[in-house]
Amino acid sequence: MKPDPAEQFELLRRRYAAQIGERVAAIIASWHHLEQSQWEKAAGIETRQLAHKLAGSAAMFGFADLGAIAREIDIGLKEWLEHDQPLTEATRHYLTQQIAQLQRLAAEGKVTAILPPIATEPAPTPSAAMPAETPAPPLTPPQPVATSMPSNPAPRPTLPVVRDQNGRPHTIILVEDDQEFGNNLSQQLHLFNYDVHLIADLEGLPTLVRALNPAAIIMDVVFPNGDLAGTEAIAAIQRERTAPVPVIFLSQRDDFTARLAAVRSGGHAYFAKPVDAGRLIEALDRLTGAEENTPLRVLIVDDDPDFGQRCVHSLEAAGMYARAITDPRETLDQLQSFQPDLIILDMYMPICSGKELASVIRQQDRYVGMPIVFLSAETNRSQQQSALLLGADDFLAKPISPEDLVAAIAARAGRARYVQRFLIRDSLTGLLNHQAVESELAREFARAERLQQPLSIAIIDIDHFKRVNDTYGHVVGDQVLRSFARLLQQRLRKSDLIGRHGGEEFLVALPNTSVIEARTLIDTIRNSFAALRHYGTSGMFSVTFSAGIAGYPQHRSQIGAMQAADAALYQAKRAGRNRVVIDTTSNESTASPIVAVAEPSSPPQPHWRALIISANGIQRRSMRQALAEQGVTYQLVNDVERALAYDAPIRPNLIFVDMTQIEGTRIPNLILLREHFAPARIVTIAPTAAEPRAAATTAFGADDYLLIPPAAGTLPALLDRLSASERSML
């Protein structure tokens, strides 16, 4: 499990406290050197940099008085250094007093003993308020620490939480007395990975709602009980609940009375029958929180490592992903690999200033719109304004509280992401647009080449789409495109690349996936899309697509792979459409095109024997239930060490491992598992909120990842992908 943020902060404060004596000693030594050098500017710059760094970080770790002294030294030296005038006797005397106060604190040992012991209470549940943080007592009064620390820390305000995912399961209750309509709609919803419970009457609905706590209810209005029986039943259910359940009404009635009754009962949406499945899915996604909402990503560049880590913990406690670096020369590489939504820069760093680094970043067109926020102890308004003129978007003054930091960064990064979405996303489908998807594909291709991993590219084209527009109109055609985009997002991983390449053509890139595996996956989606029913003015209809697949390492350039996939697509079109074709120049494939209406028989599925490596009770229960439903045998161990000592007559060929045991400093565990259980498949398991981190483990040797608890259809889809990979190696 992820360490509690408050406990991490306490450990960080403790480490900072242990080092603060050295920081003070460095300032004092530098001051003495400045005096001995007869006030040389170079010595003054060194002293100011040390004081500036301490002024910016001390208050965030609870050393407010110490930070205030350092700030006075910083400001006094700044006036002298920037105006090129002799240091006045009064200023020199004042600075000498501040240095003496620092020296006195260091001699008394007060700077290393102000932190309370780390709390030993159990970490709170995610729904609980964040643990309290005790404000540091003043440093100046010479009192014993034991008498200045309260026995019970006062609670601090809870940080605003930026949530990235709604935690509810995607279980839907469908109440429909028209059995044929209900069955058809259930099948349509299942294609989009919704787990549907269909009932035909109202009698058992309250009990079922209490038992399942569904993500939403889809309800007819008219039942034999009455013309508004559906709305009356929902009103009774909503009165029982502390939090209302999202409700979508479907009905033959399209009058004001029925719609008003739906609103008064607690309904959230209303569709008149016949309803288009695509529009219904959009409403469900909106109401159940299934729309993509990934955490904000923030890069911090500050030469003070403790201050950088403090910012990281504050931002991550609020649900963001943050990364801190101390060397400005790493910034461009981090921008490409981490892809932040916002950058935080310090103004003064040894290698280059924050203003210089901002100018370097703005030199590149791709980062012109990247928000840059300065977080510095600089108080001079002209200096702050010059930083803004060089391309910064905001200026925050150190010291800053965690609450203010989170609020400022979340607001700025959130707006930037919202604007960026319009620049890189297709307005109709929400997928990456042509330029953005090809730009991202270039990065994926370079990554595949660097890591020597396969990359498959699929170009997909909706069959006879002009005929759809001509027959049913462009509004219906647009809905078909949105439904297909939604299906791709549901069936593919977030680490996969999906874009609208133009018109009715889509581009998909599948990292660490061979063309054989890609063919199986894309053909599964083809079957699902062909089964999806769309509603037009002339009735219900279905649509198919054709796809061409090529990839790396069969093609060593992005252009070559794209041209090969495009040629394979046209081969699929000429062969009759509604099929998936692999590039004929691919060394992996000698298979004939896959035809949707006459699929060749598949080789037998592998018999999976799973080993679950996790000490997390929720993960273990979810995996046991999910594997049992798929008929997969399994064993459980708590950690990698026990897994490596695991001995069984028949070795497992499928390893599910908790992400926290193989990420960060524990990446070598993944290598050990790969070597010990070869040729077993390794799948990372992680909570939904940690999907980007789970996806990153595939770059270090994991074959795939699974989010816990598994959404409907995700585990079977995963096993299908792994099975296809197994067959490709036979």
**419 and 499 part of one domain:** no
**543 and 637 part of one domain:** no
- Total of domains in the chain: 5
Residue 717 lies in a domain: yes
**374 and 495 part of one domain:** no
Residue 602 lies in a domain: no
Active site residue 504: yes
- Omega before 399 within 30 of 0, i.e. cis: yes
**459 and 528 part of one domain:** yes
Rounded average pLDDT over 473-478:
86
**368 and 444 part of one domain:** no
Rounded average pLDDT over 635-657:
85
Reply yes or no on whether the pLDDT at 268 is more than 50. Answer: yes
**Catalytic residue from among 10, 46, 504, 663:** 504
Rounded average pLDDT over 237-254:
90
**479 and 513 part of one domain:** yes
Sheet holding 545-552, edge to edge: 497-502, 505-511, 455-462, 545-552, 579-582, 594-595
**323 and 376 part of one domain:** yes
Q: Among 287, 306, 336, which residue terminates a domain?
A: 287
Of 723 and 522, the structure prediction assigns the larger pLDDT to 522
Reply yes or no on whether the pLDDT at 648 is more than 50. Answer: yes
CATH number at 224 reads 3.40.50.2300
Q: Among 263, 287, 311, which residue terminates a domain?
A: 287
Reply yes or no on whether the pLDDT at 150 is more than 50. Answer: no
Residue 672 lies in a domain: yes
Q: Among 88, 112, 136, which residue terminates a domain?
A: 112
Tokens 């998936």 correspond to 580
**443 and 569 part of one domain:** yes
Strand runs labelled E in 410-496: 455-462
**359 and 266 part of one domain:** no
- Omega before 155 within 30 of 0, i.e. cis: no
pLDDT of residue 14: 76
Residue 600 lies in a domain: no
User: Considering the chain, what is the average pLDDT of its residues?
Assistant: 79
Residue 589 lies in a domain: no
One-letter identity of residue 132: A
**279 and 302 part of one domain:** no
For 48-67, what is each residue's pLDDT tens digit?
Answer: 888 877 776 676 566 767 77
Tokens 């407010």 correspond to 64
The residue segments making up the domain with residue 656 are: 609-729
Structure tokens at 226: 């009455």
Rounded average pLDDT over 6-31:
76
**513 and 492 part of one domain:** yes
Residue 118 lies in a domain: no
| CA gap 156, 152 in Å, rounded | 12
Rounded average pLDDT over 194-220:
87
Reply yes or no on whether the pLDDT at 357 is more than 50. Answer: yes
Q: Specify whether the CB–CB gap between 101 and 129 falls below 8 A.
A: no
Of 727 and 150, the structure prediction assigns the larger pLDDT to 727
Residue 15 lies in a domain: yes
3-state secondary structure of 690: helix
Residue 596 lies in a domain: no
Of 648 and 18, the structure prediction assigns the larger pLDDT to 18
Closest CA to 161 of 322, 315, 321, 1: 315
Helix (H) / strand (E) containing 235: helix 229-240
Q: Specify whether the CB–CB gap between 19 and 114 falls below 8 A.
A: no
Confidence of residue 365 (pLDDT cuts 50, 70, 90): confident
| CA gap 397, 59 in Å, rounded | 12
**184-216 residues labelled b (16+ CB within 10 A) or e (exposed):** ebbebbbbbbbbbebeeebeebeeebeebebbb
pLDDT of residue 545: 96
Confidence of residue 596 (pLDDT cuts 50, 70, 90): very low
**255 and 309 part of one domain:** no
Q: Specify whether the CB–CB gap between 502 and 434 falls below 8 A.
A: yes
